[in-house]
């Protein structure tokens, strides 16, 4: 059962900085000095307890972040979803959630000012950081210019060929198979989180762990959706097909500059190897069926899938897997969808090209 821990906040109130007042110092900035332990609870209960902060060798706090941005004459860009982490202990917990060890290869998406990069370097990891903003890419490159195990690429992650960038690092690792896989540890811009998840999770051949800082509501929805609710969607089937997700930590919005409108959360995805994927004849046809099943809110499957085969054939397939003929997509588990796909393919019921490779 996943536990929710409420991370300590370094700010007592939202720090408002304008483009023309970027060098000002917030009057109410202060660091928490007390920590509390919390009971382990279900993720859906969203307990807001405080976590113990670890000692750290370098602070990437408000002042350091402000200085870094000023050095490039930058303000956070809303279009890029830039929210900079002000609490180094959160970065340490991100790294701990991925169990980063010396010698690990870690992909970081959107390093910003390099605060998380710094913690990864201190852990002994080799870091490949991909940053879309050319000014921030230059800043991180300069910050770690004397560090051999950091490489910064100025690219849009959603468009780059990450595999070709990582393989030279992984091929040089002659240890066991698990050590030849990289890890992903990132404080993602909220507006690209779903796209990044869709790109990363099917890459279990080169990644073992994906640990992301996401919007909290999205994190809970992705990790622990309830059947028979509007929150249950095709992305939930996708995530559980390729990984074992776990909600790790609540991160209050006051840990960021600028302060977002919502809290964040750390989520860990342990990626599956292809041999551990659910047994389907074609992943392309399987997800095509799943996406079609959810088209049209609360439609019965015999309606939403009738472009694949007739309603009566869908009803027969549902009965073959011991489900009611009136079943709706939000009532099916991933195992149910796998079984339904298998029956449809076995009986050659479909004529829809979208279900074929």
Give the pair of three-digit tokens for residue 174. Answer: 């002659």
Question: 187 pairs with which residues across the strands?
Answer: 213
Three-state secondary-structure class, residue 350: coil
Residue 204, annotated ligand binder?
no
* Residues in contact with 168: Cβ distance below 8 Å, sequence separation at least 6, in sequence order: none
Cα 17 to Cα 32, 115, 259, 310, distances in angstroms: 21, 20, 10, 60
Return the bridge partners of 266, or none.
Answer: 213, 249
Q: Which pair of structure tokens corresponds to residue 298?
A: 């609360």
Question: Which token pair is 214?
Answer: 């996401």
State yes or no: 191 annotated in a binding site.
Answer: no
**83 labelled as ligand-binding?**
yes
**Cβ neighbours, 10 Å, residue 112:** 26
Closest of 131, 137, 125, 96 to residue 110, by C-alpha: 131
Place of tokens 């392309």: 284
Strand order in the sheet with 182-187: 150-154, 126-131, 105-109, 182-187, 207-215, 264-271, 243-251
d(CA 200, CA 202): 6
CA dihedral 241, 99, 9, 47 (to 10 degrees): 50
Q: Annotation-wise, does 81 bind a ligand?
A: no
110 assigned ligand-binding residue:
yes
**Is the preceding omega at residue 53 within 30 degrees of 0, hence cis?**
no
170 close to 181: Cβ distance less than 8 angstroms: yes
Rounded to whole angstroms, how far apart are CA atoms 355 and 123? 45
**Is 60 assigned a ligand-binding role in the annotation?**
no
Residues in binding site for S-adenosyl-L-methionine:
83, 85, 110, 131, 156, 187
Residues in binding site:
83, 85, 110, 131, 156, 187
């Amino acid at each position: 059962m996943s536990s929710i821990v409420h991370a300590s906040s370094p700010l007592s109130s939202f720090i408002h900085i304008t483009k023309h007042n970027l060098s000002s110092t917030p009057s109410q900035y202060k660091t928490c000095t007390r920590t509390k332990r919390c009971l382990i609870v279900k993720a859906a209960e969203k307990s807001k307890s405080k976590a113990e902060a670890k000692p750290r060798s370098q602070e990437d706090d408000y002042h350091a972040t402000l200085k870094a941005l000023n050095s490039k004459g930058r303000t956070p860009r809303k279009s890029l979803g830039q929210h900079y982490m002000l609490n180094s202990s959160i970065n340490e917990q991100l790294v701990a959630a991925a169990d980063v060890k010396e010698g690990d290869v870690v992909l970081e998406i959107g390093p910003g000012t390099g605060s998380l990069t710094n913690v990864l370097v201190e852990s002994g990891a080799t870091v490949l950081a991909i940053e879309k903003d050319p000014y921030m890419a230059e800043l991180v490159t300069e910050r770690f210019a004397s560090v051999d195990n950091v490489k910064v690429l100025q690219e849009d992650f959603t468009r780059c060929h990450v595999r070709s960038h990582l393989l030279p690092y992984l091929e040089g690792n002659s240890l066991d198979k698990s050590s030849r896989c990289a890890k992903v540890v990132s404080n993602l811009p909220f507006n690209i989180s779903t796209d990044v998840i869709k790109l990363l999770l099917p890459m279990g051949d080169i990644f073992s762990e994906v640990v992301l800082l996401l919007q909290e509501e999205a994190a809970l929805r992705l990790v622990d959706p309830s059947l028979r609710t509007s929150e249950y969607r095709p992305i939930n089937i996708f995530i559980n097909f390729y990984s074992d997700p776990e909600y790790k930590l609540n991160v209050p919005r006051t840990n960021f500059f600028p302060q977002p409108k919502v809290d964040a959360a750390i989520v860990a995805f342990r990626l599956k190897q292809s041999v551990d994927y659910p047994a389907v004849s074609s992943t392309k046809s399987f997800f095509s069926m799943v996406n079609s099943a959810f088209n049209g809110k609360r439609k019965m499957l015999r309606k939403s899938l009738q472009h694949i085969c007739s309603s009566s054939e869908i009803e027969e397939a549902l009965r073959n897997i011991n489900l009611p003929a009136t079943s709706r997509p939000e009532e099916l588990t991933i195992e149910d969808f796998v079984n339904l796909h298998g029956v449809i393919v076995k009986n050659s019921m479909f004529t829809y090209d979208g279900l074929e490779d």
